[in-house]
Structure 1
């Protein structure tokens, strides 16, 4: 075991955990006044739900065994998980690996909540998230990072473009379509300062998210952090340009969202591409993220409350695809299109399409099951108009 590597992974795990309270603030600032507290409440609740699901069975299903689709239950309740040695050939013990990986389902599930917050019942949300973490997230993590068939195919995902962002974005879109539009959907961000504070916490946490995915304090970790920094900064600028061109103004909530869009796009590529490629990916991500929450959303007419699909679903897919273009064998050991191997691009496309279909179909089925267990899924028009801050939290935020 290497104490330096262990220290970095433990710190990174704490940084990734911080992303969920950050997302709570980010979403709260973007959301509606009548649901401000509830919008922040739900991601914090997800910390409890996702953590215990990971402890009971999620880790074992994601990283136990060597199946093509899902793991086994050999590590249920963290049974036989060593805190002193590694069974995966790492320089950190299995317990540290399980801890770090356990932060990812928390933020993934929390991202989903933004699509339907304020119109889905909390009981239904809890039931759905438990099912989703077991049936969707854990198999995807196994297929990509646990030696499953997408890994065997040769698709790459450094820190979660498919597992985290595409899966959460597509899930949010399907839920939004199934639950339907808000009855009063026009609103502006109520707390831009919350958006900035939450976005900053997300940003800092993302350095651990991507750099920690090297699972060691080494050159790959440095590369991932540099690429994360560059891509997010570039996306801030292109989002600002797009917003200014369309509306003749650039906003604080906009450019902060642009930074998040850049973070999403670089996530699958952080340890595989050169810094110059990260800048290009960030520049593209800013435009794509802005287009996702404006042109795409308006053209198709879906009501994704806080744009989980526009930023995470579309951004994750673009990032995963561009990883197949810019992956540099001299940098990360895997050759993409620019390094002379076009096959990686096709493998990435297969992984993206599979993740979209798997998450979409699975979400539809799980939502129907949830409806049986905890019907109805959505609030009544009267309850929605009143807002969850009054219904559940017994106060109205001024």
Structure 2
């Protein structure tokens, strides 16, 4: 993702209505991804916890938006302090920003950059929720979300994308969020589930998706919104880099979906809709950090690798006995690691920067930088997230009771159910043949 750049006054850009409009559209597309994620996750769980799954994504739109305006934008993109965090009092409450004030070095207003970045901050904790299905108190999840974005996401976003952030200065390439979003969320998911434990019946009961059409709808919305997520991360549309990223997003996603389905057919004997949806998401995750540095042929390779490896990785939870409910670790953590590291192989040196990977004569230098970024974010997020979950579990408690989990978290936490058939009738023919109680009673008296 492009970051703030200081320019000479003579070269200072002017506001571009085209780029501003483009970025507002991209921001709306990224916002759509969070409801899309809610549908994707909501269809994958059992019916008794589908509303809770939807709400765990939707609540992020509320909590993170407010925190971003109050202090999150300042921490992530304010003036650097020690290469670890930012701060700018003008960004607090977004109160000191002029309506036509431009983001440094670009032709879009600061407000536009802030709202685009807000949508990234919103979806990242929502990604974590898929690992925790069926068993977490909604109030505890809401508090965890607030604490996590403050302690983990805002600082990591500064490391990766903020001017002066240590990973940014090191030269780590993360076009749109392989480290800051996907590895961050996937490592956090792993940290939390190691603390809160497994669902009742894990590896014993069937826990099949209750609505595969809902999963496919969510995957389609994610795929659609991801074009804003990726292409918009160049913060404009002047030099063709965003167009390359748009193409690579489509290409890698298609390749990953086909690769996942191929692996699934060979391994399990069937092409499943869940596999198609999961493969597409794996490709989207992997191309997010790498698509601005590779060619379309490279994007095919990255997507295909991610599709196969992520399909293999989702089974690790059974081997290592951790309950990643909806495969956040297998898809987002593994896909994010792959996409970030593969930059070191497939970067052409001719798209977003002149940094070239191993296959294009760049040696191992960029791969080394990518590895530092990957494992620094993974380690920090894993440890910090586990500590936050541990503290919450020991104070207010993270999990619902076993009885509540078995009976259904939707009714317990939200006093609702996803599907209410109590008022469903059988149509006109049913109504015409129904016998009113009073008529039936009268008939019995006559017979007597």
- On whether the aligned pair clears a TM of 0.5, the verdict is yes
Partner of 2:372: 350
Q: Match of 2:87, SS? A: coil
Count residues in correspondence: 396
Asked if the contact 2:172/2:370 (under 8 Å) is kept, the reply is yes
Q: Which runs of 4+ in 1 moved over 4 A?
A: none
Deviations 1:96-128 (A, max 9, x none): 000100100111010001111211111111111
Asked if the contact 2:103/2:113 (under 8 Å) is kept, the reply is no
**Relative to structure 2, which stretch is displaced further, 317-326 or 183-192?**
183-192
Asked if the contact 1:184/1:385 (under 8 Å) is kept, the reply is no
Pairing 1:95–2:100 present: no
Greater Rg by CA: 2
Separation in 2, partners of 1:309, 1:209: 21
Separation in 1, partners of 2:116, 2:328: 23
Pairing 1:11–2:20 present: no
- Of residues 144, 150, 175, the one that matches 2:160 is 144
Pairing 1:166–2:183 present: yes
Separation in 2, partners of 1:395, 1:110: 21
Q: CA deviation at 1:87?
A: 4.2
Partner of 2:62: 48
Pairing 1:115–2:115 present: no
Pairing 1:24–2:45 present: no
Separation in 1, partners of 2:416, 2:96: 46
Deviations 1:342-397 (A, max 9, x none): 21100000000101111011112222332355x21111110110112111232334
Partner of 1:155: 172
Q: CA deviation at 1:85?
A: 2.4
Separation in 2, partners of 1:311, 1:4: 35
Deviations 1:114-155 (A, max 9, x none): 111211111111111101101100011001100200011111
Q: Which runs of 5+ in 2 are unaligned?
A: 1-14, 420-448
Separation in 1, partners of 2:93, 2:101: 18
Partner of 2:120: 104
- Of residues 250, 253, 257, the one that matches 1:232 is 253
Q: Match of 1:66, SS? A: strand
Separation in 2, partners of 1:210, 1:161: 11
Asked if the contact 2:293/2:350 (under 8 Å) is kept, the reply is no
Q: Where do 1:272-287 residues align within 5 Å?
A: 272-287=293-308
Separation in 1, partners of 2:229, 2:162: 18
Q: CA deviation at 1:254?
A: 1.0
Separation in 2, partners of 1:364, 1:83: 40
Q: CA deviation at 1:314?
A: 0.7
Asked if the contact 2:159/2:166 (under 8 Å) is kept, the reply is yes
Separation in 1, partners of 2:345, 2:182: 19
Separation in 2, partners of 1:79, 1:287: 47
- Of residues 53, 60, 79, the one that matches 2:95 is 79
TM-score using structure 1 length:
0.97
Separation in 2, partners of 1:37, 1:101: 27
Q: Where do 1:282-293 residues align within 5 Å?
A: 282-293=303-314
Separation in 1, partners of 2:167, 2:411: 45
Partner of 2:318: 298
- Of residues 407, 413, 417, the one that matches 1:386 is 407
Deviations 1:330-349 (A, max 9, x none): 22222222232221100000
Separation in 1, partners of 2:274, 2:365: 39
Partner of 1:245: 266
Separation in 1, partners of 2:263, 2:62: 38
Q: Match of 1:216, SS? A: coil
Q: CA deviation at 1:79?
A: 2.7
Pairing 1:324–2:344 present: yes
**Relative to structure 2, which stretch is displaced further, 78-87 or 31-40?**
78-87
Separation in 1, partners of 2:50, 2:131: 14
Separation in 2, partners of 1:83, 1:46: 26
Partner of 1:361: 383
Superposition RMSD in Å: 1.2
Separation in 2, partners of 1:395, 1:52: 27
Separation in 2, partners of 1:87, 1:212: 14
Asked if the contact 2:85/2:155 (under 8 Å) is kept, the reply is yes
TM-score using structure 2 length:
0.86
Asked if the contact 2:130/2:325 (under 8 Å) is kept, the reply is yes
Partner of 1:184: 201
Q: Match of 1:71, SS? A: strand
Asked if the contact 1:30/1:190 (under 8 Å) is kept, the reply is yes
